[in-house]
C-alpha cells in the first residue's frame, strides 16, 4: 500500500501515548518518505518529538485535539470555534490513511473527520461503537498494549520488523534545568518516587513512600518526588514524613523526561511516569493493584512488578483503596529497589 500522508490518532493519556511509540516507529520505518501526522492533546506533545529509526523526525506535524479542555467549556463559542478549526486543519493534508490506536468514540470520530480514505482500528475497541468509523478492523491477539499497537501498525505494513523503540526527544532547556536543579540540591544519584495515580484504587499509602525514602536515604540514595497537578499536598506530606530524605520537585513534562533519564531507580504505580521510566531504560519497581500488569505493566527493561494475589483486574476508576495494593509493604519495595540497584 502506497502512503504519502498518514495520520496517527492517540490523543492521550501519557502512558498510552508512550505505549504507541514503538508502533509509530514501525510506521516511520515502513514509510520513510511519507508525511506522518499525529492527532494528540497538546499537553502530551513533548512525548512524540523524538527521532525515527533513521534519525529523521518521528512525526512531521502535530494536530492538537484538546478534548479535555473542550469538555470544560462545551457551551463556549470559543470552544466550538477551536473544534471547527481543528477539524478543518485535519482535512487539509488529504491523508491516504489514518490509524486509531485509542479506540474511543472521540478518537474514532477524529479518524473519520480526517477524511482519510482508509481508516484502521481494532475490531473490539475500548468503546465498541468506535468500530463503525473504521474501514479496516484488526483483531488484537497480544496481551500487552504495546504489542497490540504493534499488531495494528503491522496491518498497514505487513512484513516490516522494527526494534521496539521508545524514542524520546532531548529538550536542551529541560536538560539544563535538570542539571541545575540537581546541582543546587547537591544530588548526583537518586531514586524517583511517583506516588500519584489516575484514581484512588491505584494509590499506595503516602506513609509507605516516606518509609522507602528514609530507608534509601540511610543507604546514601536520596529520593525525588514527582507529582502532577492537584498532587501538591500528597508530595509535601511524603517529603515531611520522610524527614526530608525525599524532595518534592515540580517540573514540566519535558523536564520530567530529562529528570527520569537521570534516576537510578523509579518507584511508583501504574501511571504515565512509570511507563516513561521504563521507556527510557530506568530500573522500575512497579506497584500494581486493580490493573493488569500483563497488559499495562512496564514494558521490557529491568523491572520488578509487585502485586498481591488479592488484587483483581478492574478498570472502574474506583476511589476505594485496593486491599491487595495496600498490603504491599514498604519492606517489599525497599528489597525490590535494592535488588535492582545492585544489578545496575
CA 265 and chain centroid, separation: 17
- Reply yes or no on whether the pLDDT at 79 is more than 90: no
pLDDT of residue 300: 84
Can you tell me the distance from the alpha carbon of 304 to that of 266, in angstroms, rounded to the nearest whole number?
10
What's the pLDDT at 176? 98
With cut-offs at 50, 70 and 90, classify the pLDDT of residue 78: confident
Which pLDDT tens digit goes with each residue over 202-222?
999 999 999 999 999 999 999
By CB neighbour count within 10 A (0-12 exposed, 13-18 middle, 19+ buried), where does 177 fall? middle
Residue 250 is predicted with a pLDDT of 95
316 CB-contact burial (10 Å; exposed 0-12 / middle 13-18 / buried 19+): exposed
Per-residue model confidence (pLDDT) at position 112: 96
Q: In 3-state terms, what secondary structure has residue 33?
A: coil
Residue 314 and residue 297 in contact, taking contact as beta carbons nearer than 8 Å: no
Residue 138 dihedral angles phi and psi, to the nearest 5°: -115, 135
User: Average of pLDDT values for 293-304?
Assistant: 94
Q: What is the pLDDT of residue 316?
A: 67
- The CA distance from 4 to 2, in Å, is 7
The pLDDT value recorded for residue 159 is: 85
Q: How many CA atoms lie within 13 A of 316 on its CB side?
A: 9
User: Count of CB atoms within 10 A of residue 338's CB?
Assistant: 16
Largest CA distance in the chain: 61
Q: Cα separation of 92 and 139, whole Å?
A: 30
pLDDT of 198 > 80? The answer is: yes
- pLDDT grade, residue 318 (50/70/90)? confident
Q: How confident is the model at residue 255 (pLDDT cuts 50, 70, 90)?
A: very high
Residue 70 has what pLDDT? Answer: 87
* pLDDT score for 75: 79
At residue 163, does pLDDT exceed 80? no
- CA end-to-end distance (rounded Å), the chain: 44
Beta bridge partners of 204: none
pLDDT cut 70: percent of the chain above it: 99
What does the pLDDT average to over 15-35? 96
| Strand, helix or coil for residue 134 | coil
Q: Is the pLDDT of residue 1 over 80?
A: no
The pLDDT of residue 160 is 84
Which pLDDT score is estimated for 71? 85
Instruction: Give the pLDDT score at 309.
Output: 93
Q: What's the rounded Cα separation, in Å, for the pair 31 and 329?
A: 48
Which residue shows C-alpha cell 500494581?
Answer: 288
Return the H-helix or E-strand segment holding 21. Answer: helix 14-30
Q: Please, what sign has the CA dihedral across residues 64, 67, 68, 74?
A: positive
Kind plus residue range of the DSSP H or E element containing 112: helix 105-113
C-alpha cell recorded at residue 35: 508525511
Q: Residues spanned by CATH 3.40.50.2000 within the chain?
A: 5-156, 172-343
- Strand 35-40: give its sheet, edge to edge: 61-64, 35-40, 5-9, 97-100, 118-122, 136-138
CA 328 – CA 342 distance, rounded (Å):
21
CATH number among 3.40.50.1100, 3.40.50.720, 3.40.50.2000, 3.40.630.30, domain 5-156: 3.40.50.2000
Average pLDDT over residues 170-174: 95
Residues 262 and 182 sit within 8 Å (Cβ to Cβ): yes
Tell the CATH topology of 172-343: Rossmann fold (3.40.50)
How much is the pLDDT for 317? 80
Mean pLDDT of 139-149: 97
Mean pLDDT of 162-176: 89
**pLDDT, tens digit, for every residue of 229-252?**
999 999 999 999 999 999 999 999
The answer on pLDDT for 20 being more than 70 is yes
- Residue 315 in this model has a pLDDT that exceeds 90: no
Q: What is the mean pLDDT of residues 107-131?
A: 97
* pLDDT at site 167: 86
For residue 248, give the 3-state DSSP assignment.
Answer: strand
Amino acid at each position: 500500500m502506497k502512503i504519502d500522508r498518514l495520520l496517527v490518532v492517540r490523543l492521550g493519556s501519557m502512558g498510552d501515548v508512550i505505549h504507541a511509540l514503538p508502533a509509530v516507529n514501525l510506521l516511520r520505518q515502513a514509510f520513510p518518505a511519507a508525511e506522518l501526522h499525529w492527532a494528540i492533546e497538546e499537553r502530551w506533545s513533548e512525548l512524540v518529538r523524538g527521532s525515527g529509526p533513521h534519525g529523521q523526525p518521528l512525526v512531521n506535524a502535530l494536530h492538537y485535539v484538546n478534548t479535555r479542555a473542550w469538555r470544560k467549556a462545551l457551551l463556549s463559542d470559543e470552544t466550538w470555534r477551536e473544534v471547527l478549526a481543528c477539524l478543518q486543519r485535519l482535512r487539509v493534508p488529504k491523508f491516504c490513511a489514518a490509524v486509531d490506536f485509542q479506540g474511543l468514540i472521540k478518537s474514532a470520530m477524529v479518524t473519520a473527520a480526517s477524511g482519510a480514505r482508509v481508516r484502521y482500528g481494532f475490531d473490539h475497541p475500548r468503546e465498541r461503537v468506535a468500530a463503525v468509523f473504521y474501514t479496516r478492523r484488526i483483531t488484537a491477539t497480544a496481551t500487552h498494549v504495546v504489542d497490540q499497537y504493534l499488531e495494528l501498525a503491522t496491518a498497514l505494513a505487513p512484513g516490516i520488523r522494527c526494534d521496539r523503540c521508545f524514542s524520546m526527544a532531548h529538550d536542551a532547556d529541560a536538560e539544563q534545568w535538570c542539571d541545575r536543579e540537581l546541582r543546587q540540591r547537591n544530588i548526583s544519584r537518586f531514586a524517583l518516587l511517583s506516588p500519584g495515580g489516575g484514581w484512588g484504587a491505584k494509590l499506595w499509602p503516602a506513609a509507605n513512600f516516606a518509609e522507602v525514602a528514609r530507608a534509601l536515604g540511610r543507604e546514601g540514595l536520596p529520593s525525588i518526588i514527582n507529582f502532577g497537578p492537584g498532587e501538591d499536598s500528597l508530595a509535601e506530606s511524603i517529603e515531611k514524613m520522610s524527614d526530608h530524605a525525599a524532595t518534592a520537585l515540580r517540573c514540566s513534562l519535558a523536564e520530567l523526561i530529562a529528570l527520569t533519564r537521570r534516576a537510578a531507580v523509579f518507584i511508583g504505580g501504574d501511571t504515565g511516569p512509570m511507563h516513561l521510566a521504563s521507556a527510557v531504560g530506568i530500573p522500575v519497581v512497579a506497584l500494581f493493584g486493580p490493573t493488569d500488569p500483563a497488559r499495562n505493566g512496564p514494558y521490557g527493561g529491568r523491572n520488578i512488578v509487585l502485586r498481591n494475589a488479592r488484587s483483581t483486574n478492574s478498570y472502574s476508576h474506583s476511589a476505594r483503596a485496593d486491599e491487595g495494593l495496600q498490603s504491599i509493604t514498604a519492606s517489599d519495595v525497599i528489597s525490590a529497589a535494592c535488588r535492582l540497584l545492585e544489578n545496575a
